[in-house]
Chains A and B, each alone.
Chain A
Amino acid sequence: MFDNAWNNILDWFRDRSERAKLLRSFNESARAAFVAGIAPTLLKASISKGDSAYRHQFSNWLNTGFRIQAFTGRVLAKEELVRIGKVILDDSVLVRRLIVLGWDTLEIHGDAGTYGCRWQLKDFIPLPKFNGDE
């Protein structure tokens, strides 16, 4: 029991560090693409509350949403939001990493308006069944 608790503590710190690293890498790439003119819109990733209905076996206790905000200064059309979301969801390596780091919800929205799009991450990758004690 003590060993399990100790491993969970170590995992928590390790995952926290990996999550911060992933967000930093995404934001740095987005900023570089925006500055170089490759991307017309600046994207910014952050952690959000997420949707508890989308939980899976790797989900965190709190803040399970991976939110991408597009800074366009206008209300984005649904097609534009879906387009960004599809690119993220088509990258199976990124989706798998998001899942194992405890995220279960992908959210895309602009900096104006009140609407955004939301996806359940476990729909996009086959998750094997694990025993409860593992």
Chain B
Amino acid sequence: MNDTLIQKGVALAGQTVSQEAGNSLFLNWWMWLAFVEFIIIIFLLFKKRVKSEGTAKRRFKKEALGQEVDFDNIIDSSFNSAHLYDELKVKCHPDRFPTDMKKNAIAVGLFQEISKNRNNIKRLLELKEEAIQKLNINQP
């Protein structure tokens, strides 16, 4: 009786051990499969990112967004650049320096820059400083 019980117990234990080993092998397979899928997804995302960053449209967009916009200058220019432009275009006009060829040449360059930046007060103030130094525009 006891021998039969022991034999049955050993057989059951053996069966359980073999089942456990099969299960863990099965779980291992799933883990490896998930890992491989993960690697493939990462590879595809990386590949797409590298590819998409290279397109011309994206490059154009990236460059445009990378530049800084000076909003303070824009707001200031909206209301104050016209007055300064009117002042500078008179004071720096090349016709005011008909005899001095050197100053006339400087005035031509400055006048072109002033006309180009008529809506940019920051640049106009820089040009005013330059005109004061090179053309003495503050003298009556």
Contacts and interface: CB of A to CB of B under 8 A. Distances in A.
From DSSP, what is the main secondary structure of chain A's interface residues? Answer: helix
Nearest to A29: B71
Interface stretch (B14-22, B60-68, B94-102, B104-112): B60-68
Contacts, number: 84
Please provide the 5 A-B residue pairs with the shortest distance between their CB atoms, ordered closest to farther: A29-B71, A90-B119, A134-B55, A3-B48, A100-B64
20 contacts: A30-B75, A33-B75, A38-B75, A39-B79, A57-B57, A91-B120, A93-B67, A93-B69, A94-B69, A94-B74, A96-B64, A97-B69, A100-B60, A100-B64, A101-B65, A128-B56, A130-B55, A130-B56, A130-B57, A130-B60
B69 A87 contact: no
A41 B74 contact: no
A86 interface: yes
Contact of A29 (B45, B72, B82): B72
Nearest to B117: A90
A58 B61 contact: yes
Interface in B77-96: 77-82
A64 to B, nearest CB: 16
Contacts of B52: 3, 7
Given A33-B76, A99-B64, A87 B56 contact: no
Contacts of A38: 75-76, 79-80
A45 B77 CA distance: 16
B72 A134 contact: no
A93 B44 contact: no
Contacts of B72: 29, 32-33
A43 interface: yes
